[in-house]
Structure 1
């Protein structure tokens, strides 16, 4: 016997009120298991229990984004390497199911495939706040859409005099008008329409407030990403949530592209060599990349030139957009993992006003829209090359 401390692997089967941990050694021998409550005291006792068997190599946890979020965060604060273990489906549970069986299975999985298992996303930080706010806004949008659809349906089947009264009204005017109505007690249709219209107004305020909060949060957490051309607050929020608080867990641009579902997959067979669309990955991040590409195709000359060139080469517009999403994913990865400093632009407006120069004069000089100049001055849009030329122009103007 050398007297050295043995190395151990641990697996945790998580539940709402308990965590069951199982420990094995490097050759897979079961050393012990125990159940602990999901409290701070329980987390400390669980870690002490594992350490009583030896030095922890890796801990595998099931449900790191749900019941396992608390123990995952605690172990990370104690510098313990945690890997996410996917719960086995029912068909693969040959040895039955119980908390000890599942915890030992998680330990064996992390011991055998630990280098391939993902590092879980951290919850509870600033980006987790963005995630919660983004989900809340999404449910509000869904509820508002349902209310708008109900109004349309109710008016479609309403009596002729009711349909004619509101015919031709735009959505915003219609909802405002219905919200101000005072239906009598026996006018059940009128009462329902007013309730739906007031619900829409309330939800619209909630959605707008959430948008403003997300704009401020994304700018604070990832200023380089938020300031990038074509990246709005919602797209930035979705991409940050996908990357997570501990974005260092994503080891390369290719890994991030795969996470976003923008990496092409081999679909070759025999003499045919081709790739197919990756329908996996985080679809929320994929939709954010799609929105960024659409925005750049509408406003960025270089993007439009790229699309025109790929179409001339025989690609379809859809295929060109897929290529662009891959490029944008690589750009976003660098902006999140290794963000550059965002050049300050708060001096531009002050400098222009000191020269008694209007936005119209600047816009005419550079042959661009006044709105773009204003947005850049207010850091609502980013164009580092233009900002540098704009500042140089202002400084040279007498």
Structure 2
């Protein structure tokens, strides 16, 4: 990375920056507000360094608004994961003290010392897709809360009855059969009617946004919805969170990011793996939903799951294996779609257009483990002992 690096610790109302050179030497620092005047002052402060790159912590999270503003103004922005910044802060001389100034310093040091940080690129369509996916998730969460409140009120109005997966029409039919005469019952029924109206409104919004997501996913040339169990919302979430699939070297790195690759917990001759709770949990949820859908239908994924159970794995272990396979399927789909659009990553060894959940092709391995095989040994082999050379016999004097 050429030029100076500007480490940014972003917040909703302020941003603390530190400017360093390629050797980590401090060139400048400051704290600016995130309003229009503060943003302009920050840009004016760094304009003397013409070759500059902004290292923003959490460019897909808390730092997204600032990162998007910088991208819109033609700035170069890289994303610094919060975990990397925390590690630098831990091993720094500040004894892991967490202040805005120290955070900006650790972010800048990560950008100086780490190669391969993800560089952001302006993509209005992808940003719109992300906003739609976030909005859909919020509406789905609101619907769950509304249904729970409605279920509680209906169970009080009609004791002993509870409908699983309650729909608006079912709730309307139940509510129409109740005519309480006491004051508390009337208030309860009115509140249930209000919750029912909210449920109808949320369902209408979800239906509309689902159509928008479908059109947006297809507009990007994605084939993710062809995978059983991946709908418009799941496909949009995958595209929004992944961004450029080229940032993942192979399917194993992708599986580690989705949290579907088991963690190696082997010790000595005892080889075992344990569940990984790391990675992108939203992506893990999308793969979990896809796996559950495949288990409910006659799919290759269900056949793979049953084979794993027959081989001695528990149902949860078999489900994790299926999610790992689905992660590979999604990765290959993303690579294939990127290549079809002539913007995909090059040199991905082993990528294939096959998209079955179980990959019955004989040239594709199972990849239940995060790594394809044992690590290359680093110790030199011990040389064989040299054989002792017998002493030469001296010729006798004649």
The two structures have a TM-score, normalised by structure 2, of 0.68
- In the alignment, is the contact (CA less than 8 A) between 2:54 and 2:78 conserved in 1? yes
What number of residue pairs does the alignment pair up?
A: 326
3-state SS in 2 of match to 1:324: helix
- In the alignment, is the contact (CA less than 8 A) between 1:73 and 1:123 conserved in 2? no
What are the within-5 Å matches in structure 2 for residues 313-392 of structure 1?
A: 313-339=311-337
User: Structure 2 CA distance, aligned partners of 1:274 and 1:121?
Assistant: 40
Counterpart in the other structure of 2:111: 110
Q: After alignment, is 73-82 or 166-175 more displaced?
A: 166-175
What are the within-5 Å matches in structure 2 for residues 28-177 of structure 1?
A: 28-39=24-35, 42-43=38-39, 45-47=41-43, 49-53=45-49, 55-56=51-52, 58-77=53-72, 78=74, 80-86=76-82, 88=86, 92=90, 94=95, 96=97, 98-112=99-113, 114-115=114-115, 117=117, 125-155=127-157, 163=159, 172-177=169-174
Counterpart in the other structure of 1:277: 275
- In the alignment, is the contact (CA less than 8 A) between 1:31 and 1:53 conserved in 2? no
3-state SS in 1 of match to 2:235: helix
- Post-superposition CA distance 1:331-363 (Å, at most 9, x none): 212333541899xxxxxxxxxxxxxxxxxxxxx
State the 1:13 CA deviation: 1.9
Counterpart in the other structure of 1:312: 310
- Summarize the Cα distance change of 1:204–1:337 in structure 2 as closer, same or farther, 3 Å threshold: farther
- Post-superposition CA distance 1:116-143 (Å, at most 9, x none): 6555798972222223322222222232
Counterpart in the other structure of 1:9: 5
- Summarize the Cα distance change of 1:28–1:149 in structure 2 as closer, same or farther, 3 Å threshold: same
State the 1:29 CA deviation: 1.5
User: Does residue 1:193 correspond to 2:189, yes or no?
Assistant: yes
State the 1:105 CA deviation: 2.8
- Summarize the Cα distance change of 1:214–1:248 in structure 2 as closer, same or farther, 3 Å threshold: farther
3-state SS in 1 of match to 2:306: helix
- Post-superposition CA distance 1:284-304 (Å, at most 9, x none): 222221222232233344333
- Post-superposition CA distance 1:46-87 (Å, at most 9, x none): 34533524632x432234345522321233342514122416
Counterpart in the other structure of 1:203: 199
User: Structure 2 CA distance, aligned partners of 1:175 and 1:105?
Assistant: 57
- In the alignment, is the contact (CA less than 8 A) between 1:12 and 1:22 conserved in 2? yes
Structure 2 unmatched ranges of 5 or more: 341-354, 357-398
User: Structure 1 CA distance, aligned partners of 2:50 and 2:338?
Assistant: 42
State the 1:273 CA deviation: 0.9
- In the alignment, is the contact (CA less than 8 A) between 1:13 and 1:19 conserved in 2? yes
- Post-superposition CA distance 1:250-288 (Å, at most 9, x none): 443223212211112101012101212212222222222
3-state SS in 1 of match to 2:17: strand
- In the alignment, is the contact (CA less than 8 A) between 2:18 and 2:30 conserved in 1? yes
User: Structure 2 CA distance, aligned partners of 1:312 and 1:182?
Assistant: 54
3-state SS in 2 of match to 1:299: coil
- In the alignment, is the contact (CA less than 8 A) between 2:7 and 2:56 conserved in 1? yes
User: Does residue 1:231 correspond to 2:227, yes or no?
Assistant: no
User: Structure 1 CA distance, aligned partners of 2:81 and 2:338?
Assistant: 34
Query: Greater helix share, 1 or 2?
Result: 1
- In the alignment, is the contact (CA less than 8 A) between 1:243 and 1:250 conserved in 2? no
Q: After alignment, is 263-272 or 289-298 more displaced?
A: 289-298
